[in-house]
Amino acid sequence: MERITYPPRAVCPPSVATIGFFDGVHAGHRSLIDQVKRCAVARGLASLLITFDVHPRSVLQPGFRPSLLSTLDEKCALLSSVGADYLLVLPFTCELASLEAAEFMRDVLHDRLNVHTLVMGYDHHFGRGGAATLEDYEAYGRKIGLEVVRAEVYNRKSGPVSSSLVRTLLAAGDVESAADCLTRFYALSGTVVRGFRVGRKLGYPTANVQVDDECKLVPARGVYAVRVQVDGVQSLSYGGMLNVGVRPTLDNGMQPTIEVNIFDFTGDLYGRSLCVEFVARLREEHRFDSLQALRRQLAADEAHARELLALV
């Protein structure tokens, strides 16, 4: 896939395009992209994916903090893997947000990006106010020679997939259903920082992970079976168990932390980068009567996590 900058430095190839924030690049997004690719092949055109650099609401509503399923870098990496020809990250600005839908289609899509066909997601709207309908987009397109096609809705047996649904599942700790929607395990990346260093006294040393992007959604409090990759190196991949929460048995305050015990790993992790994939939720976080009781539960958690991870 080739990245296009905006405004483009050269004339763009004629294309079939779609537009979206594509947070998480979930199964619904992938279905839409597959339709764009098929449409492009049928028309002998290139396929173009257009996304935004920031969440539109963060520009339209100053102070809004999104709960992201993917950072911009993660999203671009995911979109680059889907087999489309071109990717454009469009800077979302107040000036762009002020354009009427017809202006955006004419000035940006048609004139600057050479889009011949626009595939619209079933619930997607663009243009100031977001009030335009599919019929409006089709009418605007006819005036400038830009075909508008409504994409088919992607449905699982349990219903449509959306970024909002994935956020809801993760907020409830249901990382397995979220993985089904995403077609991969949900992941967080961060740097190992110094923590309370209590886990090693229990026989379960943990790496305290500070998430790289403060807007990245953290799943619900609890204990999870995870896959861990160190410094982005595929060969440095391990199983582990991770706790999201405040560790109530240890009375370490109310500031939530993300701490992962990496199985079969030895070495210093401070300052190193970890990518953690959430495979399954083992249990909720709760207070134990003693450190001995906590230690017994951690042993049971490890056994359960190792059993689950062997199946992945």
Domain with CATH 2.40.30.30 in the chain: 185-309
pLDDT under 70 in the chain at which residues? 196-201, 247-254, 312
Q: What CATH number does the domain located at 2-159 have?
A: 3.40.50.620
Per-residue pLDDT, 197: 61
Region(s) of the chain under CATH 3.40.50.620: 2-159
- Statement: 185-309 belongs to CATH 2.40.30.30: yes
Helices (H), the chain: 27-43, 56-60, 72-80, 94-97, 101-103, 134-144, 163-171, 175-182, 291-309
Report pLDDT for 256: 83
Are 241 and 223 a contacting pair, CB within 8 Å? yes
- Which whole-number Å values give the CA distances from 23 to 51, 107, 263, in the listed order? 9, 25, 31
304: tokens are 């359960």
The Cα-based distances of 71 to 45, 132, 304 in angstroms read 30, 29, 31
Global pTM?
0.92
CA 251 to chain centre: 33
